Amino acid sequence: MKPGTWIVATSVAAAAGWLGYDYVDTRALASLLPGMPSLDPATLHVPSMLAGGALGLSLNTLRRVPWFELPRRMLRWLVLNERNIYRLGIAAACLGVLVFY
């Protein structure tokens, strides 16, 4: 699967679900799921479903982070922005003197 095709596939599935929502018999659809024969669509807890979807997307995003390169990139950023960090520290110290003196 190409990198951008999941966006198209998700969009098509979402559009099909949105367009056919009124015409789908959810009880008949739930009876087709072999792993969950006792699934009752009337008792579906939508906030939990949305939280699970958000958690899945978050885990997918975390999976794409290059964890072995992260410390090296962070150290490189600190070295490149050393002067700005120093200036920010001086500004915070001066602001602290102005506020607390």
Residues with Cβ within 8 Å of 26's Cβ and at least 6 positions away in sequence, in order, are 41
In a domain, 24, yes or no: no
In a domain, 2, yes or no: no
The HSE-up count of residue 61 (CA atoms within 13 Å, CB side) is 6
Tokens standing for residue 17:
């679900």
Cα–Cα dist 75/86, whole Å? 15
Question: In Å, what is the CA distance from 17 to each residue of 12, 52, 53, 70?
Answer: 8, 18, 16, 39
In a domain, 62, yes or no: no
Task: Quote the pLDDT of residue 101.
Answer: 85
Tokens standing for residue 35:
């792993």
In the chain, how many domains are there?
A: 1
Average pLDDT over residues 8-17: 70
In a domain, 41, yes or no: no
In a domain, 20, yes or no: no
- Domain hosting residue 81, numbered range: 70-100
For residue range 38-96, what is the model confidence (pLDDT) as tens digits? Answer: 556 677 777 887 888 889 888 888 888 888 898 999 999 999 999 999 999 999 999 99
Task: Quote the pLDDT of residue 35.
Answer: 65
